[in-house]
Chains A and B, each alone.
Chain A
């Protein structure tokens, strides 16, 4: 379908010409007229259920929802008549009348779309009866990652659409009707008992405080203030290109140096980098892939699980545990970089710094809510302690920086501490879809052939994923080193997918025998970690694209761009791990998975 036809309409007296199919809402934006919305989100299909975006049409008795109404030739729209204003005010008042609006006790206070609308509409006088006392709202606080508070839900169904359209998990749905209609899980089980992957995409899109991350801000402050504790912090690759947004900067700014400076000023004892263990993941996972290939190609071992799938996205892990449990052996046994880091912080790092691991508090800053759940998994205690004590989202770090009164934008650029603070461009791109694949190929290809990957400037663009797309690539391996002879001429088939809806498609193709991949990279979130559930709100496609540009720019600017060239990686193998997939690695860096129920 070609959509080139232009439609001419008038909005508040202004002539606007837009493409056929454009909604009134977007046409109004073209004329710099902002219409309030609540259920509308750029990433999702149009629901048209909140009705705050209503506008008046010339010649029509009823108002129309501008987010759902396409323009038509000659249409005359009025966005600010008395009729419209009263209707919108009524609607916001109605929402507030069923809402537990004690904003000062709410995590979204100051960052809430309902609150903002209420303040714009001067809803001081309580037009209608308070319905809250008669409602039997529930709060689900059982999950270490996400809190669901129905008393703050406006039933906009953004979360439902997110979970279904983007993630094809459908952990959340609508239950009951009429006054009892609510957002619910399977038979109203707590979220931790159902298929929810903790990806937090719903949290990122919830306009109110009904779905929020469980925050550990106070716990982290307490640890920092405790003189007996040594608090280490690691920061994930996708945080440094998004944190600025939480602190008033435009999307797409790289703030690595300022972030490090801020963390030091907050009082962390050591500011380290998850990128270090991202590089380590590449070494371990690359070797794991080559080993599996050897067992399949040389030993003709039928039981070897190929294709091998990446395991650094904990939302994806929980998804596959629920939805494709028969494919758990196909997951790389590598822990996520966060958990590798945690295990090393309380072993290797503790030894090197002469610290008692029991006094180390290990904090991670992640673009992700699923990592909160991951840190609490019983498997993740290989140091003898909980490997990662607290996981904060990018947003929570933003809050801490504000609490500390730091003028973020004017902070100087500072460097990560050592050890475990050194990283490469390969690690940085872990934050984007296709990044793990590219980083792995940069290393594995060189290991096998002795040559750099045959791509201009090491940029393996064919595997750079695009949002919402499944990207397949095949890389032919030729002129290999003698010890890798079995790989001569092998075409390595890779696939990269982001968003769980796409992950499901890939796994279904594998299951149906329609795909013969060797290596699968999956990121649970749209666009990869840069679009993670813990990233600043709002996040939408345009913003994700800016973050993505920033990530590849950061990669380009790094002096070292291949994981195996990271000097600290060489050092840790020499001093501690001995060799990839060695005994220590298995103990600290690898894990196993648990099949789970399908609802």
Chain B
């Protein structure tokens, strides 16, 4: 493996010798102390948006309320992402331990895991682990229950506020923000919602300490990340790698020698063309990713790739807000019209402007991020859009 692509064994490393050892050690610590460790660790959320986890917890903890909730976002719907599945099947204990620590810190008595509907097969294993957790919690005197709620297949329900709506039995439509979940989340109570991997990172920080954790990654992107590598690669699969590597090194490691572009962060992420591999850092200072890395070689039509993404968004948009509902349709039909020759090439400029409007006006992250793949593919592969 190249020097700059470092495999790590933090997330998937073995369980401690004794069940929930780190949790047992952590429940005795003060909340301020734990928050400080998280702050020092530089941990940012692994679900995509990259919000500092320590601050999210701190805000929730400080919000006056009679009840607070912890939610683990295991909806994993981003095309090309399958790392949470791996975490949940290999090291679910670490996830639950991380949730329990969160419950202690923010003062929540109930936690939920919102599990992607398609991951039903993971349910028996998870429920078994919850039994073990319950026993341990009882012994340790931890007053925090964990339940699992099943999603029902809509990508949008991974968006935190749509997820709350869905859990409350309503249609999964994103809410207005503010108020943010830290103030008004599930059942309008202050709620911490974190990605599966984020909770595991929390546990590992509690185990190895922030100083050790900070040794991994770069200034803006601390720690390791679980990547789902797919596409034109001989090594498709799940890899835990240090954050902050240059894309060129990644391609050298995983590409098939003919890599034309890498889609970093799934359909809602960015497409990086070969000429920019060298200058692109994988991490919050460069191109962030929830874990998805899709590799395309020169046999692929980038028009088809984009068309595919747009169809995905067109269908998966919740449909409530204008820029996203109608914008996605216009972008998809627009590139078709240009390809057919029904619209002049300059129409692509019009569509680029439209995607910019979607980015700055859509109600939630879905509509706001369509422009990422759209503009990066259209501007870097314009000829493929036309001919």
Contact = CB atoms under 8 A, between A and B. Distances in A.
A86 interface: yes
A54 B358 CA distance: 12
B154 A177 contact: yes
B317 A178 contact: yes
Nearest to A90: B357
B320 A131 contact: no
A157 interface: yes
Contacts of B94: none
A90 B154 contact: no
Interface stretch (B15-23, B99-107, B135-143, B324-332): B324-332
Interface residues of A, number: 39
Contacts of A131: 326, 329-330, 333
A128 B342 CA distance: 12
Nearest to B317: A178
B310 to A, nearest CB: 11
B345 interface: no
A131 B314 CA distance: 13
**Residue among A46, A129, A180 having the largest count of chain B Cβ atoms under 10 Å:** A129
A52 B322 CA distance: 9
B368 A62 contact: yes
B321 A50 contact: yes
Contact of B325 (A46, A129, A179): A179
Interface string B163-182: 00000000101001010000
Interface stretch (B33-41, B227-235, B359-367): B359-367
B122 interface: no
Contacts of A47: 320
Interface size class of B (residues with CB under 8 A): 35 or more
Interface string A37-75: 000000000111111101000000111010011100000
A52 B326 CA distance: 14
Given A62-B360, A83-B360, A129-B334, A94 B326 contact: yes
Nearest to B330: A128
B322 A87 contact: no
- Per DSSP, are chain A's interface residues mostly helix, strand or loop, or mixed? loop
Interface in A104-163: 127-129, 131, 154-155, 157
A49 B326 CA distance: 12
Contacts of A65: 176, 363
A177 B330 contact: no
Contacts, number: 114
B241 interface: no
B101 to A, nearest CB: 32
Given A46-B176, A69-B178, A179 B315 contact: yes
A455 interface: no
Given A62-B361, A62-B368, A94 B322 contact: yes
A70 B322 CA distance: 21
B256 interface: no
Interface in A156-184: 157, 173-174, 176-181
B337 A129 contact: yes
A270 B368 CA distance: 61
Given A87-B361, A178-B314, A51 B328 contact: no
B178 A87 contact: no
A94 B327 contact: yes
A438 interface: no
A91 interface: yes
A90 B333 CA distance: 16
Contacts of A18: none
Contacts of A128: 330, 334, 350, 354
Contact of B363 (A49, A174, A181): A49
12 contacts: A48-B321, A51-B322, A54-B361, A98-B326, A131-B333, A176-B319, A177-B156, A177-B317, A178-B317, A178-B328, A179-B317, A181-B317
